[in-house]
Structure 1
Amino acid sequence: MRYNISARLIYDATDGTLTLPESNEPDSQLSITSSALLYFFLCNPQVISRDDVLKRVWDDNGLTSSNANLNQYLSMLRKTFRLYDIDNIIITVSRGYLQLNPDIAIEQLDLPPQSFADAESFSETPGNEHEPPVVLSRPLSAHERGVCWYIAGVCLLTIAVLLVFLSSIGSKASHPITLTQMPHGQCEIVASDEMLRSVSGTIYGKNFDAVRQGLDLACKPGERFVFFYGDRLDNHNLGRVFLAHCASHEDNPFGYCDNYFYYSWKS
Structure 2
Amino acid sequence: MKYLIDNIVAFDDKNGLLENKKSGTSVVLSTTAIRILSFLLKNQGVVLSRDEFFETVWDAYGQEASNNSLNQYLSVLRKAFRNVGLEHEIIITVPKQGFLIKVNVDYDEEDVSTLSEQNFTYVKPEPEPLDTTTSPDDVEITEETRFLDDSGSNEIPKQNSPVFDKKYYFLNAFLGLIFIFTIIFVFQYWPSTSRVIPTVQLHSIGKVDSCPVFSLYESSEEMTQAKMNIARGMILEHKLPCIPNAIYIFQPDDMFVYNQMGRVMLSRCTARKNDPLHGLAGCKDIYIYEK
Same fold (TM over 0.5): no
TM-score (norm. length: structure 2): 0.37
- Answer 1 or 2: higher relative contact order, Cα 8 Å, separation at least 6: 2
